[in-house]
Structure 1
Amino acid sequence: LGNNALSVTETKLDPFVHLALGAQATNSVELHTAVAIAFPRSPTVTAQAAWTLQALSGGRLNLGLGTQVKGHIQRRFGMEWFAAGPWIREYVLAVRELWRCWQEGDQPSHHGDRYDISLMVPLFDPGPIEHPAIPITLAAVKPYMCEVAGEVADGVRPHPICTPKYISSVMVPAIERGCHKANRESKNINISVAPLVATAANDQLLAARIEEVRARVAFYASTPAYRPAFAINGLEDLCLELSILSREQNWDELPDRITDEILYEYACVGTYDEIGQVISNRYNDLVSSTEFSIPLETPDDHDILKDLISSLQ
C-alpha cells in the first residue's frame, strides 16, 4: 500500500502479537505499538516483548507506551494506582536499563520508587541483538506527560482529541521544557498523530461516519483526563455536563451535545477525495507523522487507501 509504518493499538487484542505477524509479513515498514498499556506489565515483560519484536523485525520497532487512566488501571486491570507522570518516567528508565544489560552482558541496576530490578541470570538473558536502539514514544495529553516524554523518550503521541492548537500551544512547549531538563534537542522528538477521522466514498455514507465520530468526541469530552484539550477552547462547562450524563449512564444523550462546530474542531472530515488534503492542511509542519486508515472490505478499498497514503506523503 506504500505506507511507512504499521501501527497497532491495544484495545481488544495484544499489539505485540499482531506486530509479530506484521514483522514476518513485511520487510521495510516500521512497526509501532500505538500504544501498549505500560502499567499492567512489569518493565521486564515489556522490555522482553520489545526486544523480541526488534530482533524478529530486523530493527523496525517503535515502542509506543501509554499509561491509561486511573479507573481502568484500578478496575479493569485490578492494580493500585500511582501518579502517572513519575511512574511512566521510571518505567521508561527501567526498560532502557534492561535493554542495556542484555546488550552489554551486564546485570541490571534500576532502583526507583516503583521498581527495583537487579537480577538477570544467563537462563533468562536474551542476549544482544543487531539493532538495540529501540525508540520509545509516549502517549500524552497533559503538559507533565509531555515534559516526561521530552526528558526520557524519543517521541510523543498526542491523544486523538488533541487539536493542532492544543499541540502547538500546550504540548510542544512542555516537550521543550522536558528536553531542556535532559540537555536534549527538541527537534529530535517526533510527534505522531492519529487524528479522529470521518471519511467515506460519498456524502451519504460520510453522514453516518460523522455521527460515529461525533459520539467519540462526546465520549472523550465526558472523560476528565481529556478535559484540558477541551478547556483550551472554553468547553469546560460542556465537559462537566457530559461527565454527569455519563455517570448517569445516559450515553445516548452525549452526541447531541456536540455541535458541528465542535466536531470540525476536533476531527478531520471529508470524502475520500478530500480527506488527504484536509489532514495535510490541518497538521502541515506541526507533526512528524500522521496515522490513517479505512476499513479494507473490498479490493477497491485497498486502492483507495493506497491513493490516500500517497496523497498524504
Structure 2
Amino acid sequence: MHLETLLPLGKVDPGLRAPERTLDLASVATDAALLEEVGYGGLVVEETKDDPFVVMALAAQATTRLRLGTAVAIAFPRSPTVTALSAWTIQKLSGGRFTLGLGTQVRGHVRRRYGMQWHPPGPWMREYVGAVRAVWDCWQHGTPLEFHGEHYDLSLMVPLFDPGPIAHPAIPVHLAAVNPYLCRVAGEVADGVRPHPVCTPSYIREVMLPAVRRGAGDRSLADFRVAMKPLVATARTDAELETRIRDARARIAFYASTPGYVRAFSHLGLDDLAAHAQQLSKQQRWEELPALVDDDVLDRFAVIGTHDEIGARLLDRFGDLVTDCEFSIAVHDDTDRATLAGLAATLRAHGDGAARREIIGGNGQM
C-alpha cells in the first residue's frame, strides 16, 4: 500500500495524500480508514491518472472525520458549473469535510492536452472562482444565477438541475500558485494557497505571502491556509535514501526546465541553471538533467532524511510558513504503520503557532 501523508504544520491534524501513480481504487476506502484510525486529519489527491472527485467520493463513504480535498483538480477544462456540482456532491456526502483545490495547468497542456484556447491564467482563475461561488449561492439561497464575465456567462438554473441547499455550504477553495499574480488572486478570492514543490521557504516568505496579503486587502486571513507538498526524499534507511535523493535531483532539474517555475529559481540566483535545464529539455536530453543539481541546490529545494528524521526536518524548514504539509511514504508492514502514527504525533505536538502568525502578520492584522 502506498500512501502520501498530509502533515499539517499548523493547528489541524495530520492526514494523507494519494500517490502520483494510478491508484488501486478498490483500496481507497481501506487506506482512508487506516489514516483516520492512526490519527491523521486529511486525505487529498491530485488530478493525474485518476479522477480526483471519484477518489474523494470513495474516501468520504469510508470515513467520518478525515478532511478531504483535491490537490489539485484542473479548473479550466471543466465548466464552473460542472466543478461546482462535483464539489457540492462531495461536500454533501462527506458532511462538510471537503476542500476544493484548483490549479491552472500550463499553456501547453491547456492547448494540446485539453484542446482549449489559452488565456492569462490569473484573471481567468479569479473569474472561475467567482463563477463557481455564484452557482453555489444560487443552489443554497435560491439567488438567481446571474454571473457575467469575460470567460463565463451564466444565467440559467432550472429546478431539474438545481440540487438545492446542503448542511455545509461553505466549501473552502484553495488555489495552486507559484508566481505573485496568482498568489494575489488567492488572497482576493480563495481560502488558501498551494505553493508548488519548487517554492522554497524564502520564496514563500518574501514573494508569495506578501502577494497574498496584497490581494486580501482588508479581508481577514485568520483562517487562510498555506498547503504544500514539499519536495521530500525519505526512506527507512540511509541506503534506501540514496535512491530517493537521486529522484529528487531529477525532479528539481525537471522543474528548472519548466518556464512557469523560473521565478522560483531566479529568486535564488539560479538563472543559469534554469536556462541550461531548459536547453537540455528542448533537446530531449533528459538523462543529463540531474547532473545540473549539485548538493547545495539539492539542499535548497529538498527536505531529506530517514523516516525517523523527516518529521522534525519538515518542521525546521516549514514550521513558520506552512499550515498543511504533504509527502509520500510507502506502507508495507506494521513498522511503516508505526511510522505513520509517529509522524502524526510529531506534527500534532507542534500545534498552532508561528505559521499562523506568519500568514496574517505579526499583530494579527492586515
Please classify the TM superposition score into its range, dividing by the shorter chain length.
over 0.9
Which has the larger displacement, 162-171 or 279-288? 279-288
After superposition, the C-alpha distances for 1:126-171 in whole angstroms (9 at most, x for unaligned) are 1100000000000000000000000000000000110110000000
Q: Does the CA-based 8 Å contact 1:293-1:305 persist in structure 2?
A: no
Q: Does the CA-based 8 Å contact 2:308-2:339 persist in structure 1?
A: no
Higher relative contact order (CA 8 A, sep 6+): 2
Cα deviation for residue 296 of structure 1 reads: 2.1
Match of 2:123 among 81, 86, 90: 86
Matched, 1:262 2:297: yes
After superposition, the C-alpha distances for 1:246-275 in whole angstroms (9 at most, x for unaligned) are 111100100010011101110110011110
Query: Residues 1-313 of structure 1 correspond to what in structure 2 (within 5 A)?
Result: 1-180=38-217, 183-313=218-348
Structure 2 stretches of 5 or more lacking a match? 1-37, 349-366
Q: Distance in 1 between matches of 2:73 and 2:345?
A: 28
Cα deviation for residue 304 of structure 1 reads: 1.4
The one-letter amino acid of 2:234's match is: T
After superposition, the C-alpha distances for 1:67-88 in whole angstroms (9 at most, x for unaligned) are 0100111111111100000000
Q: Does the CA-based 8 Å contact 1:147-1:176 persist in structure 2?
A: yes
The one-letter amino acid of 2:101's match is: G
Secondary structure in structure 2 of the residue aligned to 1:166? helix
Q: Does the CA-based 8 Å contact 1:154-1:190 persist in structure 2?
A: yes
Q: Distance in 1 between matches of 2:208 and 2:150?
A: 26
Which has the larger displacement, 171-180 or 286-295? 286-295
Q: Distance in 2 between matches of 1:268 and 1:100?
A: 41
Structure 1 stretches of 5 or more lacking a match? none
Cα deviation for residue 287 of structure 1 reads: 1.6
After superposition, the C-alpha distances for 1:66-114 in whole angstroms (9 at most, x for unaligned) are 0010011111111110000000000000000000000012321100000
Cα deviation for residue 302 of structure 1 reads: 2.0
Counting aligned pairs with the same residue, the percent is 57
Cα deviation for residue 187 of structure 1 reads: 3.4
Cα deviation for residue 59 of structure 1 reads: 0.3
Q: Does the CA-based 8 Å contact 1:33-1:65 persist in structure 2?
A: yes
Runs of 4+ in 1 over 6 A off after TM superposition: none
After superposition, the C-alpha distances for 1:33-69 in whole angstroms (9 at most, x for unaligned) are 0000001101001000000000000000010000010
Pairwise CA RMSD of aligned residues?
0.9
